[in-house]
Structure 1
Amino acid sequence: MIRCNSELIDPIEPRLFDVDWSRANGYIHQSGMGRGGAHILKFSGHYVVLRFFLRGGIMRKVNRDRYLRLGEKRSRSFREYELLRWMNSQGLRVPRPIAAMTAPTGFFYRAAIILECIPQARTLADILKEGPLPNGMWSDIGKTIRDMHELRVFHADLNCRNVLIDDADRVWLIDFDKSHRRKRGRWMMQNIERLRRSLLKERGMAAEFWMDDRDWSQLVTTYQASHDGRIDVSAKQA
């Protein structure tokens, strides 16, 4: 089953979910990103991202891409598709979803999603290996995350490779697999801490990494000062 959004490409070509077909027709622009599950395609004058839902960790060795069928609305691809559509309607800088697919295989299903490709954007991790961020950019990142949290969106993997900055110095958030809306709670600061750990990990592996305590403090200060004040980190997690 395929769910489509005609805002960017109309009509969408369902066979774009078939990598062999896309490659044979010259639509593949770049392949093998992020554990091999993502491809950049150029179709109908637009660059889009085709991402397959793949398992990680030990489970990946025995089951690479199948998930238990619990109804189409609960599939990984359809849930991310609907969440992205809603976040776009709220003005958040996240990719526009173009199409989502589920393919049943007995009691299981495989899934994929096609998203708008953010033009001229790079990951926060890659940018920090080359030099410091422009003035105010750490604050912009903090505000962007707070805008997401104000809408009660939990990002399941908020790390420095899922924060993008484009050539106009705009901050984008990507990869909302397993993300969802929930009540306010400690998870909000846990999201922030997850981002911090990923930055420290990248810094530990890089010859140069342009981030220090003042940069992080700027992000957190702006995050906590935005909108309705500081987060109550003692609130009960939903």
Structure 2
Amino acid sequence: MLSTYSPISSIFVIIFSILLNILGLIINKSFANVHEKESHKSEIILPISHRLAFMSGHVEVGIELYKLGELKMAAPHLLHPVSETHAEERKGLENRGFKADIFEQVSESLNKNLPASEIDSLLNRASNNLNELADNIGGDRKEIIKFLLKTAVEEYDLSINNNLIANIGEYQDSWGFIKVAMHHAKEISDTKLSKEILINLQKLHVYWINGPLLVENPVKPLIIKNIANTISRKL
């Protein structure tokens, strides 16, 4: 039996395929727009105290890596206070005591490969400026710590794959966020709670066995998550 060719059927198939492609493009664009709006929304609603805490986590780990002689690894973390890419993090900080010139000097020192021993006082000034900023801006210390713990858990989880560190940058970030959380713990008005949270955070920080440096057998993400959640529930 011979098959019959129908021009009308072929045209219909072509038109139908084109319509499907157009519909797919519309749906994809809609999802992209929703994602973009949600992303902008999260940036807008994030309090300045939380943005500062986030930036401080990066800077603290950058300073630590610099002092350990790991200038190449320190560089991306120390870009947060100076680069245009991270400008949104710094929004509103300029008139609250943020001293950009300190971090620009740190960046220049990185470019010149100056050893930490030559700029030790500068690195301390950078760390102190962020701590002073945190005190000036204030905010709910307990909520800031919760935010830092949540972020640290997420970053740590992203850093580990098959029980190995797959993304050293994320691993280092999580270390930095816990360090900043310890600063905020000291400022909790309830003295008893302040001491308890600080001790617990210090114990958690030890699980980064070699600080922000690479280790062969990192602690499993679930352990970090469980401890962090336990601390959060106390706040």
Structure showing greater radius of gyration is 2
| Greater share of strand | 1
Structures share fold, TM-score greater than 0.5: no
TM-score by length of 1: 0.24
TM-score by length of 2: 0.24
